[in-house]
Structure 1
Amino acid sequence: MHTKAFPYVGLLGFLWGTNLVVMRVGVGQFDPVVFVGVRLLLASLAFVAVYTFSSRRKLPTDRRLWLYATFLGIVSTAIPMTAIVSSLTYQSSGITALLITTAPAYITIAAHFFLPDEQMNLRKLLGVFLALGGAALIVLRGESGLPDIAQGSPIGYALVISAMLFETAGTILIRRQMQQFSAFDVTAVRLTIAGLTVMPIAVLLRGFDLSQVTSSGWFSLVYATLIGAFSAQILAFHVTKRFGATAFSLTSYVIPVVAAITGVLWLNETITVWMMLGMVFIGSGILLINGRRSLKLMPNP
């Protein structure tokens, strides 16, 4: 792993780790699907403002960019983001973060088949088994990470795992087909399409009642929009494009540590021995997957 990737990986892991905890505050006041829809549309407006007032940014017109970014917006943004936010109604941000940490295992398997420069070997295979084994331990133990819920819900687990599979598809697409595109333009189209996909569904299926939202709920929404959706999505695309899919997967190593500590300090979530053991298995797997791997740097967007 090239050392130049580490600051980007650490920052992205911190942003997404704290974002999980902040979003758990929001889903206590918003319907999860409405929360995601509003968050995505607000992030889209931020991009619109940049295109409107910045002389350096022009609205992208490349048809291939719009085609691929639309795919990312639906398959790798709208679906997994809704699934992850919804999972926070069933379990702690720490549990959700730990399951997100298994992303390198899915990415490594997919990269073996679709990315010629990131093939599977025995070390990576062992890492995949360790990472998925750590997740299985948490699921089989029924950990919720919440002090008032003794048994975690299979629905919460399934939502996060499904989200990781959809995210994997997007990561592979970026590496194979999207190296020449601007991270900013792709993210703008991606989030806009995702918002236009989620918001109508949210209104039709869940309604749009915001009467119960307090100042903490609005703070959660703004933070999730500007940090988790706007800033972090641009950074995520940049990391994947410049340093590779395996480098991007390292962010999942930082996310659970940040989310678990922040969740305990802010929301009184719990960390059990089994969660820590699961984290050790997953972390060991990630180290095996990524260790001694030299990634070719990609050009800046």
Structure 2
Amino acid sequence: MKKESHKKGLGKLLMVCALMGCLMLSTAAFSSSGVGGVVNLLLMPMQRVSAALSEQMTANAEETAASKEDLLSENKDLKAQINDLNRQLINYDTLKRENEEYKKYLGLKEENQDYQLLAAEVIAKDPDDLYGSITIDQGSRDGVSKNDPVITDAGLLGWVSEVFPTSSRVTTLFHADAKFGARDSQTQETGIMSCTVQSADEGYLRMNYLDSTTKVQEGDLVVTSGLAVESGFGGLFPRNLTVGTVKSVSRSESDASLYALVQPAVDLKNPKDVMVITNFAGKSAAGEDTASSGGNS
């Protein structure tokens, strides 16, 4: 019995040894190239995923760069469109304002078909000028010439004294050089309009050389006579431009004549929108004669 049991144990031992030997042979035969193949086989899906991710990231980066360029270009185009629309809006507002201004002067234009009118805006005032000179946004490029009359919808403001390409300086009726023929629209009496430092400071004009028997009285409307222009004597202003309203009549300090203080129809020191009369009947002769004489008769 003992011998038989011993044989069985020996057989099991030999079987285990045989299995171990086979395992060792198999391990020995399992070369490094075989292990690398298995590893490569296991890593291959991961490598493919990594490569795909890398390609996608590269594509995304390129697309992002391209998108940035497109966005910058689009942004530039939009800014250009906005600037163009802003210019159109400014032009629209300017045309709208000018159209509204022209409507105010429709009656004047109908009564004076020879007038050529140009709307302008006051862009500067001279704070050191006692006479209220201003600068407007229209110049020689727009057809403005020296000595052109300047009016508002209320009446006469002054005349163009200096012209630049895109702007002009306007001297108001408060200036000492403002001497021109005027007429009382009620009595038809004429006189010479002028202004002194004192009257300008008080806000009035003077209508001089009224006859001692004058019928001019407070409240009368005073307009330009236009006689000098129509006679070719070099006057600046055509007839019937509103000058103002008579406030009082007094005796002259220097002679027996009378003079009238006239309240200007226009706020001469704070005008806003104006109109330049760039042409009217008799202007050519008036401009030439005035330039040669150097006065505002």
- Bigger relative contact order, structure 1 or 2 (CA pairs below 8 A, ≥6 apart): 1
Tell me which interval the TM-score lies in, with the shorter structure as reference length: under 0.3
Structure number with higher strand proportion: 2
Structure number with higher helix proportion: 1
TM-score by length of structure 1 reads 0.20
